[in-house]
Structure 1
Amino acid sequence: MPGTLSALHGSGLGGPVVDTLSTIHHNRAMTSYVRPEIAPQEYRDVSGTVIPYGERWGLAGPPEDSYSCITHPERFAPLHEVARALVAHLTLTFDIEIERGASLADELGRRQIPIIDAYTLRPRAVDAAPLDIALTGYPGVVLAAGVLWESSYPVCGCDACDETWERAADELESHVLAVADGRFRESVATQGRADGRATYGYRFAGSMSGTGGLTHVSDAKREAAIERLATLSAGWLSWPRR
């Protein structure tokens, strides 16, 4: 089975992640994650006016045509750097196995989402949640944790949503670190539904929670998730530290 640093270097991983790993390795006194420094960005509309992303729409809300427009998606490129920094931090902090490529990339490929890079992180603890981090060509990041939970950063990216990379990075970091810290829970229940369908629930302690159906999940995957979650008497545990 691959190790941590050796797996990152030996699997052909080059460039930004290895550089980030080296920086952190030479600063072992740093015990907590620190977001990498990102140069300020400035984007303009067709008239040359700077676009105040995150503050574009007032009480009237966004115009109708903005829901179908995506202007300057490149503003989300810093999320790739943040994701790589998170991978580097987790690798040096926790006892995990890491693979490049793997399951999440395959799943996204079936949904025609272009993948730039993908990492599967498996903690060496039976009841700790695995984590998949994929960098997309949008640019953006897709995160999958545990058995069924998945989210995208940014969530949408259209002009109407007016998301910023900083807000998306806040959420990405919060979710990744919560999984590693054992502050993430999942559940699948079929009781109380006349149609017999399952209801999925998740919770990040101190952050967010939600419920929803599993119509997009195959019967086999749903049953496997129910079986796996039934073994977690205390929910997902924190990752073991190195």
Structure 2
Amino acid sequence: MTQVRADPHTTGTARFAMLHDTAEAMLESLAERYMVERRESKELLGPTEALVRMVRLIPRTPAAGPLAVAFTDFPGLMVRLGRWWAEALPACGCDDCGENPGELTEVLRTQIGALVEGGLWERVRRGVGGSWFETRLIAVGFSARREGPLTARDAREARRSGFAAPVQWAPWPRRI
């Protein structure tokens, strides 16, 4: 996960604070409705970054994909779905980009909803130049695909974990 940094061309970052409120409410609601373990810690997002609050929801079945949300000081979020899907909200936050916090909360809801409903698919591909991860996230009215390089170590670990073949994460188990 990459940290969102304050930019000298960024003013009024407080408008993104609603992302923290929305994420917290979603995490609480998900923990009440689904059979998950909630883990909270302080973690570094990178070697040169500050500690941030990290909340993980780990489904009680290993077939369902985990969710991790980091609350950055910007204020913003770093969201990880499954093994490789990562989303920075906002992606930039500068005045020129004009990212709308309301639209970003809808991105958060849509992507987390897709994970919870079993719409995340991931795999490792081997190529001439090395290994790559490939992810797809699908929900009603939403479909996205991403890929990126893996280190040799990460590729070996992923294949050992069952990602040599495509993995479609299962829906989260509901509480009864």
Q: Same fold (TM over 0.5)?
A: yes
When residues 234 and 148 of structure 1 are mapped into structure 2, their CA distance, relative to the original with a 3 A threshold, is closer
Q: 1:80 aligns with which of 2, 13, 20?
A: 20
When residues 111 and 173 of structure 1 are mapped into structure 2, their CA distance, relative to the original with a 3 A threshold, is farther
Higher relative contact order (CA 8 A, sep 6+): 2
Give the corresponding residue for 1:92.
32
SS in 2 for 1:157: coil
Q: Percent identity?
A: 26
Q: How many residue pairs end up in the alignment? A: 167
Between Structure 1 and Structure 2, the one with more strand by share is 2
Q: How many Å separate the matches in 2 of 1:99 and 1:120?
A: 5
The question of whether the paired residues in 2 share the 8 Å contact of 1:148 and 1:225 is answered with no
Alignment RMSD (CA, Å): 2.2
SS in 2 for 1:80: helix
The question of whether the paired residues in 2 share the 8 Å contact of 1:185 and 1:202 is answered with yes
- Structure whose CA Rg is larger: 1
Aligned pairs (5 A) from 1:158-169: 158-169=94-105
The gaps in structure 2 that reach 5 residues or longer are 1-6
1:235 aligns with 2:132: no
Give the corresponding residue for 2:47.
110
1:194 Cα deviation from its structure 2 partner:
2.9
The gaps in structure 1 that reach 5 residues or longer are 1-66
The question of whether the paired residues in 2 share the 8 Å contact of 1:199 and 1:211 is answered with no
**TM-score between the two structures when normalised by the length of structure 1:** 0.63
**TM-score between the two structures when normalised by the length of structure 2:** 0.84
1:198 Cα deviation from its structure 2 partner:
1.8
The question of whether the paired residues in 1 share the 8 Å contact of 2:124 and 2:165 is answered with no
1:101 aligns with 2:41: yes
When residues 101 and 222 of structure 1 are mapped into structure 2, their CA distance, relative to the original with a 3 A threshold, is farther
Q: How many Å separate the matches in 1 of 2:159 and 2:48?
A: 24
Give the corresponding residue for 2:128.
194
Between Structure 1 and Structure 2, the one with more helix by share is 1
When residues 212 and 72 of structure 1 are mapped into structure 2, their CA distance, relative to the original with a 3 A threshold, is same
